[in-house]
Structure 1
Amino acid sequence: MRTTARARLLRTAASVLVAAAALLPAPAAQAHDVIESTNPADGSTVATLPASVVLTFDHTPIGVGTEILVKDPTGTNQADGPAKIVDTSVTQPLKSGAPAGKYTVVWRVVSADSHPIEGTFTFTAKAAGGAAAAASGAQSAGAQSTGAAQSAPAQAAPASGSSASGSSGGAMALWLGIGAAVLVLVALAAFFVRRALRPGLEE
């Protein structure tokens, strides 16, 4: 039996709609939170050990399941109590008097889509926290060159934010491109359906 032109057009429209659906990624795979910055920044050197480390994400993480370890050069965890989540920032207080040296931060949070994400970053503290911080402040007041050297890491920190901003811009452009392609395919499918339903279509 010969296939009618109407059936061919309807099949073509269905194929176009399938192609449009294939362009849409699975929502769960795209919904994981992304870490945008850390303070101290990954790989940076700070004058004194801060009172806390801060991780900033693109969405607000879920409180349950959050764990942050801040390991000193000996591998001892210097995290003091549970981490605190405020908006998109996760703050982990550190123990007073923790030693100077290279620190490794091991973090795990549950993203907004309920999937756990994890990672690590490092930073180096030239001086311990607590009483050592006051001594470092006195030395900074007596030497302008030391103050200038300490300001350099602080100015370098926004670099991670600009990198995240560029990445977000690229992702937005990708989504806009996918959206435009889907709209074109849907319009094409509608065209074929209208032709198939047109009265007087010959075989």
Structure 2
Amino acid sequence: MNKKTVLLVLLSVAFANLLKAQLVEFGVQASVFGSRFTVSENRLSDDILVRQGRIAPGGTIGALIEYGAPKDQPRSYLKLYSSLLAEFNFAYNPGNIELMYTTADGTNYFNELSYTLMQSELSFKYLGKLKRFRFLGGPSFVYNAYRGVQLANGEMRNAGSQITPYYINFEFGIGVRANKFMVSTRYTTNITDFGKESPLIPTTFNSHQIRFVVDIYLMEKHRGKNWGSIYWD
């Protein structure tokens, strides 16, 4: 089963829960992550070698809304609940690519390309709940508002020819909910084109992230209590 099939299954379950949601919660979110860009092909020729660079630190900040079942009632057995988790974030996503090439006289030159991406993300995820334990997965639709690359000599260039303006990520992870807080660890990678072939880097490349995410739930609404009201608890 490929990623896109898993994605469709998770979204189908998540949106089914939206239709019968008993509780809506709104909150804010922030994350820190390690970002790595990987290349699809390392040795492009006898003279050119391209490889992944150092892990770069990034982060996000945004908001979330969760549609799902009412809060857990005390039980002597485990019961799985499902929710739809929608998130909107602004992200700072850096990454590095190393480029080495050899001239005709045998001299080796090394260049590290440091990318800076300023992004907005909209995601829809399936959120499974088992007591305090959480697991989630789903797509993120990403727009690159800014795409820049810094060369080893400090020169900054526009990276629009190397990185697509839009792409889709797939993210999955596990976490724990305690009262108004949820903490989770997530893995994120692109499932559509991210880095394009260009004269600077003549191969495609991909984005990978390990995220540590903190959610704070601020307001909630219950069906039958204040569902049609403008007020939140």
TM class, shorter-length: under 0.3
Q: Which has a greater percent of helix?
A: 1
TM-score (norm 2): 0.22
Q: Which has a greater percent of strand?
A: 2
TM-score (norm 1): 0.24
Using CA pairs under 8 Å that are at least 6 residues apart, name the structure with larger relative contact order, 1 or 2.
Answer: 1
